[in-house]
Each structure stands twice: as structure tokens, then as C-alpha cells.
Amino acid sequence: MATKLQPAVIAIFGATGDLAHRKLIPALYEMSAANQLPTNTSILGLGRKTDITDDEFRSQVRKSIRDFVGSDSEELGHWCEKCIHYFGMGDSGPEDFEKLNEKITAIERTFDLPGNRIFYLATPPQAFGPTIESLGEAGLNSSEGYTRLVIEKPFGHDLKSAEALNDLIHKHFREDQIYRIDHYLGKETVQNLLAFRFGNALFESVWNREKIEKVEILVAEELGVEQRANYYEKSGALRDMVQNHLTQLLTLTAMEIPTAFKAGHIRYEKVKVLNAILPIHDEDIVEGQYTEGEIGGEGVRGYKEEDGVKKDSKTPTFVSLCLRIENWRWSGVPFYLTTGKRLKERRSEIVVTFRRPPVTIFKPEEKNRVHPNVLVIALQPNEGFRVSFEVKKPGSEIAVKTEWMQFSYADSFGPLPDAYHTLLYDILEGDQTLFVSADETLASWRLYTPVLHSHHTLYPYPAGSWGPKEAQKLKG
């Protein structure tokens, strides 16, 4: 166990929900098994139901860990008995938060904890505001140790709502207490972008408009809307993925070198990127919605046939944008951001295409055509890097061929930890580097809110394809 980490009470609002049981609690157990969770750290599940006992909740936790970690040992039983607790919030009125304070205080006394508290909002976004307000009014925004507030996306649904949510949070919590989670930032490959760029002069020296022709960021999903129709109908692809996940990847790819590897310095450079992006025009965006098709040899329904989706829905399930960063490093280089549901395969990657040599000594026929060097940063499912280069084929004839050098995380380091494992550790450590600041959130919404309020043609695309053909025209 890292000695710099202190034990805490981790109170999870929405503890009976999917996120808590599929991601958060399994990640906390894996941290404990790896001796990364401070001794006596207690996990307090919070839900509306008041008739769930500690033992019943522990049984739910064991099942989640068995399903998502594959462990069901005697040691797990001891861990649940010692670390897992439950408290029913009922209607979440003022008296319920007063009782919550009493519950947390009792746990701290029982396990001799120093008063460190983490409140994790794993709830629907409409519950963020009331929960934060109630925490503040009950005095749960401070304690004898530290108090930290963790908020899942979406952080607002446009600029106005994000500003209002930030104002409410800052009414009760300081910015250094707030951890806005974007789980993509917890992926090892995403974090390694900084080491890759700033630790290798070979790449950083060509990371500019003079050497790079274009940058493409793709997050493709095979899955459809699944059980999230009620949320997705109000969200769409741009709110669900672009404003947060893809934009975070963009800022890490395009940011300048920070003066120190610290949260404040890195966040500052990311905000500078967002503020340098030119306004997005109608010709810079293509939106689509999937129709019935085939994935993995099986037929799948179109979006409008999904349960809970309106038959005349205009919600985009695909979006592709061209962004331009007007600064010294990137002026003239297009950044293409693309995401969609029911695409051909699950894939997340950043593709950097370098400019061709200004003069070629090879004849232009196909066998001698020189292709641009390409760097592929694969985020999922096979994390790693690939770089293409041109070589001459063996033989007397001059013929050029593209080959690849590659690095695989799995081959070098084995299985990578889940993103939530990394982020939860950082929350305990008090490191905000991989979390989104208030300024980043507002700068992002300032960029995309005009796009949300403008009308765009919704192009159909069959499930199992790479999206509407019009998206390819966007890239020329």
C-alpha cells in the first residue's frame, strides 16, 4: 500500500445502479486485492430503498465482483463484511442527510478513520443538483480530514446548464474538492499520450502544422442504444461522446508542453486549445442515424425501432466534425472527430497523418507511389501504437511498399487496469490531473452549444457500416 494514501469513507450515491456494480465496486475490490486501497477504507452504498440491509447489499456486491472480476473467494467475503456498508436515503430530505452524516461518523469511529470523505455521484444527471445542494446544507461539504466530490458525465447539457451546475457546486465546494470524471482519461494509452509526445524528441519535433497533414480521432461503437433510450433521446452523439470523450482526446493531442507535470499546468494548456478552436460551421459537421443492418452476422434493428425511441426521432447516433485550431502550432491542420453507434466494429484511435515528402524521386505509377507516414494511437480494443513507413521491395525493380512498426501494451505489460481503477486511486491520492476542470467544461460547451442549436440534415446509415457516406466527403 502506498503510504501517502489515507483511508476514507467512500460514499456512493446510486450504489444499487449499473455503474456502481459494473465498474466502481469491482475496481475498488481490485485495488484492495492489489494493496492499493488504504487499510480500513469503508465503502458506503447509498440508495433510495430503506429496506435493504448491510448483508443484502453485501450479497449484491459479491455477485457484482463475481460477475465482473471473476472472484468469489473467502477473502472476498471477509472484505465485504469489513468494508461494505449500506444506507437507505429514502426521499433524500434534510433529515435523511442528517442521518447520513451520523452514519458516516459512526463508521469513522468504529474503524478509527481520520475524517476523510469522498462523495461519488453515480446517479442520473438530474440528481446532481439536488444532491450537491443537500450535501452542502447538511454540512457534508467539509470534515476533519478532506472532503471530495466526484461527478460523472454529463456535466450539463449545454453552456447555460453547465454554468448553472458549476455555480451550484462552487456555492458549496471549492474547485480543488471537485473531481469531474471522464473515464477515457483513465485509460493507460490516453495517459501515455503525454509521455509519448513529451518524452520522445523524435515525435515532438514533428508535432506541428509543417509536418502533419491531418489528425483523425475516432470512437466507434458496435452497440446500439441498449437500455439507455430515455437518456440518449435527450442527448444524441454530440452530447454523449464528442463534448467530453473526443474533445478530451483532442486537447491532449494538440496541447502545448506544460511547464510541469501537474494538474493545474496540464489543465491550463488544454483550455488554451479549446479557446483557439474556430467556430464550427454547418459545412463542418455531418450527422446520421442508424437504420436496420447486420453486425457480426446477425440482423439488428434501426434506431427508431429500439425500445423507448420515438418513431419520428431526430436524434443523431453518428456525428463527424472538422475542427480547426487557430494557433501557431496547428493553423491549417484539420482535426476530424467521429463517433457513432452500430458502426462496423468497436474501435477507438487517434490517427496522425504526416505530410508527404515535398519532392519524390519515384515515378508516380501505383507501384512507386509514396504514401504518407501514419501514426495510429490505438486506445481500444488493442492498446498500443503503430507507425507506417515506406520501404523498397527486394529485387532489381524499384517498387515501394508500406510497412508498419508497432508496440502493444498487452505484449509488453500484460492486461491493463480498468480506467476506473486508475481514477479512483487518483481521487484517493488527491491528484486532479486526469479530471476535467470547470474552465475546460465551460470552454467545451461554449464551442458546441451553437452546433446543438442549429439544424443539420440527418443522414441514414445501415447498422454495421462506418456511418453515412457524406462523412467521407467531409474529409475530402
Residue 147 and residue 206 share a domain: no
Average pLDDT, the chain: 90
Q: Are 257 and 275 in contact (CB under 8 A)?
A: no
Indicate whether 171 belongs to any domain.
no
Summarize pLDDT for 135-189 with one digit per residue, the tens: 999 999 988 899 999 998 889 899 999 999 999 999 999 999 999 998 878 777 7
Residues 52 and 125 in one domain: yes
In a domain, 1, yes or no: no
- 139 within a domain of the structure (yes/no): yes
| Residue 126, number of CB atoms within 10 A of its CB | 7
Q: Does the pTM of the predicted model rise above 0.85?
A: yes
Residues 112 and 202 in one domain: no
- Residue 351's pLDDT is 96
Same domain, 211 and 112: no
For residue 393, the model assigns a pLDDT of: 81
> Which DSSP state fits 34?
T
Amino acid at 192: N
- Give me the residues paired with residue 44 across strands: 11, 85
Q: Are 191 and 140 contained in the same domain?
A: no
Examine the pLDDT at 2 and tell me if it is beyond 80: no
Which residues fall within 8 angstroms of residue 290, CB to CB, at 6 or more apart? Answer: 224, 302, 303, 317, 318, 340, 341, 342, 460, 461, 462, 463
Q: Quick one: 358 and 216 in the same domain?
A: yes
**pLDDT over threshold 70, residue 368:** no
pLDDT at 367: 61
The verdict on residue 366 lying in a domain is yes
pLDDT band for 234, please (50, 70, 90 cuts): confident
Say if residue 145 is in the same domain as residue 201.
no
> Each residue of 294-353: pLDDT tens digit?
998 889 999 999 999 999 999 999 999 999 999 999 999 999 999 999 999 999 999 999
Does residue 32 fall inside a structural domain?
Answer: yes
Q: Report the pLDDT averaged over residues 91-119.
A: 94
CB atoms within 10 A of CB 319: 25
Of 152, 170, 203, which residue sits at a domain end? 152
Domain boundary, last residue among 108, 130, 152:
152
Q: Highest mean pLDDT range out of 117-121, 380-384, 455-459? A: 117-121
Percent of the chain with pLDDT over 70: 98
Phi/psi at 242 (nearest 5 deg)? -70, -50
pLDDT digits (tens, 9 = 90+) for 210-220: 999 999 999 99
The CATH number of residue 464's host domain is: 3.30.360.10
12 and 427 in contact (C-beta within 8 Å)? no
What pLDDT, in 10s, does the model give residues 61-99?
A: 888 888 888 777 778 888 888 999 999 998 889 999 999
Q: What is the mean pLDDT of residues 23-37?
A: 90
User: Is position 417 within any domain?
Assistant: yes
pLDDT of residue 470: 93
The pLDDT assigned to 158 comes to 93
Shared domain for 232 and 326, answered yes or no, is yes
Residue 365 lies in a domain: yes
The dihedrals phi and psi of 56, each to the nearest 5 degrees, come to: -65, -40
pLDDT at 175: 94
Print the domain residue range for 403.
185-474
145 part of a folded domain? yes
- 434 shares a domain with 373: yes
For position 296, what pLDDT does the model report?
A: 85
For the annotated catalytic residues, the residue numbers are 245
> Counting runs of H as helices and runs of E as strands, what totals does the chain give?
16, 17
pLDDT at 15 over 70: yes
State the CATH number of the domain containing residue 83: 3.40.50.720
pLDDT category at 392 given cuts 50, 70, 90 is: confident
275's enclosing H/E stretch is: helix 263-276
Same domain? 129 vs 220: no
- Model confidence at 1: pLDDT above 60: no
Boundary (domain end) residue, out of 152, 167, 200 = 152
Q: Same structural domain for residues 332 and 228?
A: yes
Region of poorest pLDDT, from 43-52, 105-114, 233-242, 416-425: 416-425
84-88 and 117-121 strand pairing: unpaired
User: Residue holding cell 496547428?
Assistant: 330
pLDDT at 263: 84
Query: Which pLDDT score is estimated for 469?
Result: 93
pLDDT confidence of 206, banded at 50, 70, 90?
Answer: very high
Residues 269, 356 within the same domain:
yes
Phi, psi for 410 (deg, rounded to 5): -60, -40
How confident is the model at residue 282, as a pLDDT?
Answer: 92
Tell me the residue ranges of DSSP E strands in 221-344: 285-291, 293-295, 298-300, 318-324, 334-340
Q: Residue 114 pLDDT > 90, yes or no?
A: yes
**What is residue 366's predicted lDDT score, i.e. its pLDDT?**
62
Closest by Cα among 325, 352, 349 to 270: 325
Number of domains in the chain: 2
pLDDT at site 3: 45
